[in-house]
Amino acid sequence: MTVLRLIWALVAVALLAAPAAAQTVERAPVPDWVQWLDTGPVATPGGTGAPVRVLLFDHQLRFDDDVTHAFSRSRSLIQSVQGLSIAGTVVGGWKPGAQTLRVHAINIIRGDQTIDVLASQDFAILRREQNLEAAMLDGVLTATLQPADLRVGDVLEVAFTQTNHDPVAGSHGEFLLGGQFGGPVERYHVRASWPAARGVRARAIAPWSLPSSPRREGGDYVVEIDESPLLPLTLPTDAPARFLHVRQLELTDYRDWSEVSVLMSPLFERASTLEEGSPLQAEIDRIAAAWATPAERASAALRLVQDDIRYLALAMGEGSLIPASADATWRSRFGDCKAKTALLIALLRGLAIEAEPALVSTSFGDGLDQRLPMLGVFDHVLVRATVDGRVWWIDGTRQGDRTLAGSAVPPYRWSLPVRPGGARLEPMPQPPLAEPLISMNLAYDASAGLDAEAWIEAEMTLVGETATVMQASFGSIPLEQRDEGLRGVWAGAAPGMEIESVDGVYDADTAQFRMTMTGKGRLQWSEASGPGRAFEVPNSIATMGVSEARAAGPYEDLPYVVVHPNFIRSVVTVRLPAGGAGFTMDGEDVALEVGGHSLERTSRIDDGVATMALSIRSLVSEITAAETAAARTQAAALDDTPVRIRAPLAYRATDGDAAGLSAETDDIDTLIERGRVFLSRGDLEGALAAFNRAIELAPEDAEALANRGGLYRRMGDLPRARADLDRAIELDPDSVPAETLGGLAVQEGRFEDAVIEYSVALRLDRSNIGALL
């Protein structure tokens, strides 16, 4: 957003709108209640070197009997050619059915010369629905003007007033103004005034502050904030939202939240009352006949509203506050949150289920209980239903909710029930999820052998709105592109496998999106992680994202946000060779709560199948700084402990292993592994060929030399064995097992050396039968 667009946007602090039509920008003198600030000498380029220096933001707010006014004045110094592009267009928007925009001045100040831009130029008026892609029509008109002959070194001054009148709110008025910018403002000034007889309250959010009482000026009360300069605040991105709402000024004449509730009640009562002979009665009767319990009937009504009424917000004129009637919404088959709420309430009440609207804020929900009461902070509405004695918040604008139990509590923290007698704010606690949002199952069949080709069948299931969003995404692209995307998903989830087929199917009845994959490939059984060969189970590391420690300062001890509610489960099975005889699993079972999460991991081998199950579930929406610090320590320890399936040291290669290693390759690790398999099967010539090829490709590979040296010892070629083993030790002292050196010493008649080497081998592994014998 450019500087001047931001300036114009800031004046839209009266958050409600209603008829007071004005299709053009009016030219008018500065209102009498405005105090025109003396800005001193005209600034010249310099200072920060930024393309534009914001010299002044001045906001003056006024409550009259039944309207509110917001005056805004800015001065911006153009310091470079880039600054002309940034600030060279004055752009503003207003709702003609709700607001009047009056411009007082657009001046170019050049030295001691003041050029009145409006004397020779007019605004171009456009209607641009900027939220059309989000299915929102707000009716905002956009005024644009490019001041002619604006030059580097000029100061551009803009002053205007927006007047707001709302017949829904009646004589009530409110303002919410923020002072957080991306760059410095050399002077930032806010002044709010109201008649002393009007019961307006004011509250400043830190670091701003106000006196305990407003000051009296004649027949008015006044509050004022004046900062020079106003510098941007660098806020943590991982703190709860209530701590990020800084430098705000609230003004309202609502006495409490109950007044807001009472104000909106008749609007929803009318909208949710069915017309005589309404076709919706047939839908109510159908649901009642098809389902027996209140929970089932409420779920069916919710599904009807979510599936059969498309979302379209008509926020022009009174549409921003007044809901369309349930019957009108049913006839048009579209509606916004207000319309869908009214329709859903009509259905539920027709089914003898207690239901009422509940206003929520998608922007200010966290910390709403600390704010002054305002209607304008609410930008969404849900249904608060009571079923079998339990309260449910259900949202007709969501997608994919199939049962009440499967619909998560929305993340808005607080709601305001809309009732004829009024209501207080009500908390909306989000319990942990009972079922995973994402479940993944990888089933490997490695029964043919460690080095044989393994087969995999994989499945990933998404539920609820996540599934619906995925279906919408994949359903709108060609099948080939969809499959390419699915292959990308599985390439990350099951690495190293050659994918043969993929599919993605959405089940509308359960709101589940099921992705499947089949494939094949060699599992990576490695000796690098301990004695014998082991396979690291995919997705077995019990990890979770933990924020890094913040820098020292005023925000370091703030709580940290937890992504909540969230629940992911992964299950991996591997069918093992030889019925799993002798196979074991490394990696302790985990069952702990850390960093606002529950982590559970189990592993076992039953009937020749190794199974690892990992669940990570969020428990709360935020944790303290101390809890986060502890979570970092625990997470760091968990990150290094995957689950591994370990083959027995005496594992005998299968025919499948030999076949799996028969293909041509120049991969060193594969060649070494191939040699070991041939050696375990007694094929010494095959083993020697594999080790020779590895050393031909990598003459300085200590592991290859150590394996060939051990083979030469077994073949009785002691000089070659000694040469390979000595060279391997030179390259890597740990590359040759002590048991191998002990055996070579025996064959060479160095029995004392043999005792030493075998003793070392036993210290490393007391179960080493070869060293004992």
The pLDDT tens digits for 658-696 are 777 666 778 888 888 788 878 877 788 888 998 999 999
Say yes or no to pLDDT of 741 above 80: no
Say yes or no to pLDDT of 242 above 60: yes
Helix (H, G, I), strand (E, B) or coil at 501: strand
pLDDT at 365: 97
Residue 411, classified by CB atoms within 10 Å of its CB into exposed (0-12), middle (13-18) or buried (19+), is middle
Backbone angles phi, psi at 561, to 5 degrees: -75, 140
Q: How confident is the model at residue 760 (pLDDT cuts 50, 70, 90)?
A: very low
Helix (H, G, I), strand (E, B) or coil at 413: coil
Q: Burial code of 609-632, b = ≥16 C-beta within 10 A, e = fewer?
A: bbbbbbbbbbbbbbbebebbeebe
Dihedral of alpha carbons 302, 306, 309, 315, sign: positive
Report the chain's mean pLDDT, rounded to a whole number.
88
pLDDT at 771: 43
The pLDDT tens digits for 61-76 are 999 988 899 999 999 9
Q: How confident is the model at residue 529 (pLDDT cuts 50, 70, 90)?
A: low
- Residue found under tokens 């929305």: 410
pLDDT at 739: 64
* Token output for 580: 């799993």
Q: Burial code of 498-527, b = ≥16 C-beta within 10 A, e = fewer?
A: ebeebebebeeebbbbbbbbbbebbbebee
pLDDT at 247: 95
18 vs 420, higher pLDDT: 420
Say yes or no to pLDDT of 271 above 90: yes
Contact 252, 201 (CB under 8 A): yes
Say yes or no to pLDDT of 124 above 50: yes
pLDDT at 19: 34
Query: What pTM does this model have?
Result: 0.83
Q: List, in order, residues 6 or more apart from 144 with CB less than 8 Å away.
A: 89, 90, 91, 123, 124, 126
Q: How confident is the model at residue 263 (pLDDT cuts 50, 70, 90)?
A: very high
Q: Residue 458: which of 486, 488, 494 has the closest Cα?
A: 494
pLDDT at 16: 32
The pLDDT tens digits for 502-516 are 999 999 888 899 999
553 vs 760, higher pLDDT: 553
Contact 762, 771 (CB under 8 A): yes
**Where, residue-wise, is CATH 2.60.40.3140 in the chain?**
3-253
3-state SS string for 299-367: HHHHHHHHHHCEECEECCHHHHCCCCCHHHHHHHCEECHHHHHHHHHHHHHHCCCEEEEEEECCCCCCC
570 vs 169, higher pLDDT: 570
Distance of alpha carbon 95 from alpha carbon 141, whole angstroms: 6
pLDDT at 663: 62
**Where, residue-wise, is CATH 1.25.40.10 in the chain?**
655-772
The pLDDT tens digits for 129-179 are 555 444 455 567 888 899 999 999 999 999 999 988 877 888 899 999 998
* Token output for 332: 């048009």
Q: Which helix or strand (DSSP H or E) is residue 63 part of?
A: strand 52-63
| Mean pLDDT within 573-582 | 97
Q: Is the link from the previous residue into 432 a cis peptide, with omega within 30 of 0?
A: no
Q: Which amino acid is at 464?
A: G
Contact 603, 610 (CB under 8 A): yes
pLDDT at 765: 44
| Mean pLDDT within 2-13 | 40
Q: Residue 173: which of 31, 70, 33, 246 has the closest Cα?
A: 70
Say yes or no to pLDDT of 632 above 80: yes
Q: Residue 157: which of 13, 9, 37 has the closest Cα?
A: 37
pLDDT at 26: 87
448 vs 19, higher pLDDT: 448
3-state SS string for 531-579: CCCEEECCCCCCCCCCCCCCCCCCCCCCCEECCCCCEEEEEEEEECHHH
pLDDT at 756: 58
Distance of alpha carbon 523 from alpha carbon 482, whole angstroms: 27
Q: What angle do CA 376, 380, 383 make, to 5 degrees?
A: 125
| Mean pLDDT within 726-737 | 81
Residue 313, classified by CB atoms within 10 Å of its CB into exposed (0-12), middle (13-18) or buried (19+), is buried
Contact 92, 142 (CB under 8 A): yes
Q: Which amino acid is at 42?
A: V
DSSP character for 621?
A: S
Q: Which fold does the domain 655-772 belong to in CATH?
A: 1.25.40
Distance of alpha carbon 459 from alpha carbon 518, whole angstroms: 9
DSSP character for 277?
A: T
pLDDT at 745: 65
Q: How confident is the model at residue 3 (pLDDT cuts 50, 70, 90)?
A: very low
**Class (C level, CATH) for 258-427:** alpha beta
DSSP character for 230?
A: B
| Mean pLDDT within 27-43 | 88
pLDDT at 496: 86
Distance of alpha carbon 528 from alpha carbon 735, whole angstroms: 11
| Mean pLDDT within 712-732 | 86
CATH number of the 3-253 domain: 2.60.40.3140
pLDDT at 301: 98
41 vs 408, higher pLDDT: 408
pLDDT at 200: 96
The pLDDT tens digits for 178-197 are 988 888 999 999 999 999 99
Percent of the chain residues past pLDDT 70, beyond the cut: 89
